[in-house]
Structure 1
Amino acid sequence: MSSNGTFTENEEAPTYAPSIPVPNVQELVREDPSQVPQRYVRDMEDRPKDTDMSHLSSLIPLIDFSLLLLGNKEELNKLDLACQDWGFFQVVNHGVAKEVLQKMKDVAAEFFELPLEEKNKNAMPSDDIQGYGHIYVISEEQILDWSDALMLAVHPSHYRKLKFWPKSPTGLQEIIEEYSNAIRKFGTELLESFSLIMGMEKEALLGLHKQLIQAYRVNYYPPCSKPDQVLGVSPHSDSSTITILMQDDDVCGLQIKHDDDWVPVNTIPDALVVKVGDVIEMWSNGKYKSIEHRAVVNDERARISYASFLYPHDEVEIEPLIDPKTEQLIYKKVKYGDYLRNSMKTKMEGKAHTHVAKVETLA
C-alpha cells in the first residue's frame, strides 16, 4: 500500500475460494438432452413455481442514466426509491456503445460452442474461482446449478491470471477488455450518483473502495428437459458493491425476489441491469437492500448472461456510514476480504451469508 492509501502493482493477485469440480452441464445436455441427473433436481419447495408474476415486471424501476449524469433531482429520487424498494433497476442511456455490447455477446456465444477440451484449457483450479467451471460448490451432496461459467478478474490488471483467459475464439480477450473498461466507466459514474443519494460528495463512495476491483462472470444456461425441477443459479444476493448485468435480448431467465414473490425480469434491448450488492446494504445500514435473485431455465433455448462485479479492496473495512447515536446499527464493522471469502465458502442460499456482518442481537 502506498503512502496515499492506494494499492500498488507490486501487490500479489489474490485467490478467493476453492470449489469442488463438478460435471459440465452443457456437455451433459449434448450427450443426452433428456437426462437430468439427480444432483441437479431441487427439493419441491425450492423449485420454480408455476405462479405467473409477470404482471409485476413492468413495475421494476427504469433509470435514464443520461439524466443522472446531469444531476437531475427527479432521476436521483427514482434511484433512491429503486434502491430502497427493489434493490434493483434497469438502466438506459448508460453510455456503453451498442456495438460493444453486441461484440461481447457474439464472442461469448462462440466460446461456449467450442469443444469441451478447448474450454477446459482454461479450467478453474481447485483452489480459486478464476477460469472455466463452477463456483460455490462446497460438498459432494450439494444440489447443483444448471449452468457453466467463465469467471475472470479484470481490474486492476495485475489481478488477472492470464492462463485462465481463453485464447479462443480469436479476439475474445480484447473484447472482454473493451467491454469491461466501458462497464467500469459506467459503474464508476453510477457510484457517484449513489454517493449523492447517500448524502455525500460525489467521489466519496469510490474513495471508500481504496481501489475499485472488478470481476467478470459469463454464465451459460443450457436448455433442460425438466426446467421446473432445476435452477440455473440458486437464490442469492451479491457480495459486491454493485453488480452490472447484461442479458440476452430474447431469452428471459433472471428473477428477483420482491415482497416474497419471484418476479421475472423482462429484457429491454441494450439496457443494463444493476443489482445493489451487500456492500451498499452495509454502508447504508440496511436502507438500501441487496437483492436476492435467481435464474430459471427453459426446455428450448440456451441463455447467456454477463455479470460485472464491482467491489472494494480486501483490506477495506466496511461499516454503516451513519451516526450510531441517531440510528440503531444493523451491521458491524467487517474487513471486506474476510466477508467476501466467507460468502464464497458457503453454498448460495439466499442472504444467509450476510449474517456474519450483522450486529449479533439482530443476526
Structure 2
Amino acid sequence: MSSNPDMASVQELVKSDPSQVPGKFLVNRNEEDEPKSVLSSKIPIIDLSLLSRGQKEELDKLDQACKEWGFFQVLNHGVAAEVLQEMKDATAKFFQLPLEEKNKIRMASGGFEGYGQVDGVTRGETMDWSDQLVLTLYPAQYRMLNSWPTEPEGYKEAIEAYSSEVKRVGEELLRSLSLIMGMEKHTLLELHKELLQTLRVNYIPPCSMPDKVLGLSPHSDASTITILMQEDNVTRLQIRKEGEWVPVKPIPNALVVNVGDAIGIWSNGNYKSIEHRAVANEGKLRISYASFLFPHVDVEVGPFDHMVESSRMYKKVKYGDYLTTALKNKLKGKAHTEMAKTGS
C-alpha cells in the first residue's frame, strides 16, 4: 500500500474531523437490512472442556450449531483471562501510536500483511470504515517479521501468547469437527499438516454516520474456521440468519467461532459458512481480533463422499487457488465461493 493521502487511516480521518465521512466510505443500507435482535439470544454456546472430553451431548450441540448457525460462542476454552486482556491492552496502545510509527509496518501495495486497509483501496470500491493489522502467525517460518510491530514494548509477546492459545483451541475444535463429521478424530488436522494461522485485528473507530458505513462488509471466511475475540461491551458483529442480520452479543472472555468455507465445502454445504459483517458505532471504538485457520495450500478441498446425500454442491479445488481467488476480491458476500461450486 502506498502513502497516497487518499489512503490515510480511518483513525486519522476521525481524529482530524469526527463529523466528516468521505464519500468513498458511504454505503446504502436499507431499513429492512438492519438487525433484528430477536434471534440474538439463541446463538449457540459451546463448552470446550466438555467437547474435549468427547461428551456426546456437547458434540451434538456443536453439530447443530454448525448446521443451523455456522456460528457459536465458546466458553471454558482454557485461555487465561490475563492473556486475553494483555492482547487487548497492548493492541490499544499500538493503535494509539503516532501514524508515523504505525506506518513503519504499512502494508505494501497489493500486500496483505502489516498495518493499513486490505480491501477496496486500489479498485475504486467503497471502503470499509476500519483499519487493520494483519500478521501470519503459523507456521512460524512463514512470519514476515518486518511487518510485525516493534512498539509498544511487549506487544510481540502478547501476540505470541494469545495466538499460541488460539492455535490450541483451534486444533481442539478441528478434532471435534472431525468426530461430528463422522471421521477419525485427527482427520481434519492431517489436512492441516502445516496449520496456517493468520491474525487480523480490526480497528473500527466511532463514526458520525454509523448507519451509512460498514466496519467490515458482508462476507464469509475462506478459512477452515475463524476464532474471534470481541470487546466485552460493544456489540458490532452481525451474522446473516434466515435473511436477517442478527447481533452477536459478547459474552465476557468467550471466543466466537465461525465455520469457514473449507468446512462448508468438505461437508457439502451441510455446515454453514455464513455471511457476517461489522458495523460502526457513533460513540464507541471497536477492536476485534480474528484468527483464521487454513488448510495447507496444496490440500484439495471437496465434499467428503460420506457427506454427499444426493448431489455434490462443490467440486474439488486446490485450496491455495481457492484462497488466492478469495484474497483478490474485496469482501463481498459469498461471491468468491462460486469457483468451487459444481457447474462453475
Aligned sequence identity (%): 58
Q: 8 Å contact 1:20–1:126 — kept in the other structure?
A: no
Distance in 2 of aligned mates of 1:321 and 1:265: 31
What per-residue deviation string (whole Å, max 9, x for no partner) do you get for residues 25-71 of structure 1?
000000000000000000244xx758551221100000011111111
Does residue 342 (structure 1) correspond to residue 325 (structure 2)? The answer is yes
Contact 1:145 1:232 in 2 (8 A): yes
Q: Distance in 2 between matches of 1:128 and 1:203?
A: 33
Q: 1:1-12 alignment to 2 at 5 Å? A: none
Question: What SS does the corresponding residue of 1:285 show, helix, strand or coil?
Answer: coil
Distance 2:197 2:289 in 1: 13
2:14 aligned partner, one-letter code:
V
Separation in structure 2 between the aligned mates of residue 231 and residue 277 of structure 1, nearest angstrom: 21
- Kept in 1: contact 2:48–2:74 (CA 8 A): yes
Question: Which amino acid in the other structure matches residue 55 of structure 2?
Answer: N
1:136 CA drift (Å): 2.5
Corresponding residue for residue 336 of structure 2: 353
Judge conservation of contact 1:209–1:313 (CA < 8 Å) in 2: yes
State yes or no: 1:285 paired with 2:265. Answer: no
Q: Unpaired segments of 5 or more residues in structure 2?
A: none
Question: Which residue pairs with 2:239 in the alignment?
Answer: 256
Task: Report the equivalent of 1:194.
Answer: 177
Deviations 1:140-161 (A, max 9, x none): 4200000000000000111101
Q: CA deviation at 1:137?
A: 2.0
Output one character per residue of 1:202-237: Cα deviation in whole Å (capped at 9) or x when no partner. Answer: 101000123110001111000000001000000000
What letter matches 2:89 in structure 1? Answer: D
Indicate which of 136, 140, 163 corresponds to 1:153: 136
Q: Write the distance in 1 (CA, Å) between the matches of 2:232 and 2:307.
A: 45
Find the partner of 1:233 among 216, 221, 231. 216
CA positional deviation for 1:325: 8.0
* 2:21 aligned residue: 36
One-letter amino acid of the counterpart of residue 289, structure 2: Y
What SS is found at the alignment partner of 2:90? helix
The code of the aligned residue for 1:311 comes to F
Aligned to 1:24: 9
Which of structure 1's runs of 4+ aligned residues deviate more than 4 A? 18-21, 48-52, 323-326
Q: Which of the numbers 195, 202, 208 marks the counterpart of 1:219?
A: 202
TM-score by length of 2: 0.96
Per the alignment, do residues 324 and 90 of structure 1 end up closer, same or farther by CA in structure 2, a change over 3 Å counting?
closer
Is 1:118 the equivalent of 2:95?
no
1:121-170 Cα shifts (integer Å, max 9, x gaps): 01001132010011122644200000000000000111101011000000
Deviations 1:328-355 (A, max 9, x none): 1111011111100101111211111101
Please say if residues 218 and 305 of structure 1, whose CA atoms lie closer than 8 Å, have aligned partners that are also in contact.
Answer: yes
CA RMSD of aligned residues (A): 1.7
Q: Separation in 2 of the partners of 1:326 and 1:352?
A: 25
CA distance in 2, matches of 1:203, 1:19: 43
In structure 2, give the amino acid aligned to 1:32. D
Query: TM-score, structure 1 length as denominator?
Result: 0.91
**Contact 2:275–2:334 (8 Å) recurs in 1:** yes
1:81 counterpart residue number:
64
| Structure 2 residue matching 1:103: 3-state secondary structure | helix
Residue 7 of structure 1 is matched in structure 2 by none
